[in-house]
Amino acid sequence: MKALLLIVLAASLGLAACADRDEPAAGSRSYQGKPDAHSWDNVPQERASLEARLKLRQLAQDEQRRISQ
Partner 1 sequence: MARMKFLCDAERCIECNGCVTACKNENEVPWGVNRRRVVTINDGVVGAEKSISVACMHCSDAPCMAVCPVDCFYRTDDGVVLHDKDLCIGCGYCFYACPFGAPQFPSAGAFGLRGKMDKCTFCAGGPEPDRSEAEFKKYGRNRLAEGKLPACAEMCSTKALLGGDGDVIADIYRERVTRRGKGAEVWGWGTAYGPGNPGAKAPPQPPATR
Chain contacts with partner 1 (rule: CB under 8 A) = 26-27, 29-39, 49-55, 57-59, 61-64
Which one, 4 or 25, has the nearer CB to partner 1? 25
Which one, 9 or 38, has the nearer CB to partner 1? 38
CA–CA distance, 63 with 69 (Å, rounded to integer): 10
Which one, 4 or 20, has the nearer CB to partner 1? 20
**Shortest reach from residue 14's CB to partner 1, in Å:** 29
Question: What is the end-to-end Cα distance of the chain in Å, rounded?
Answer: 98
Q: Judge whether 67 and 61 are in contact, CB under 8 Å.
A: no
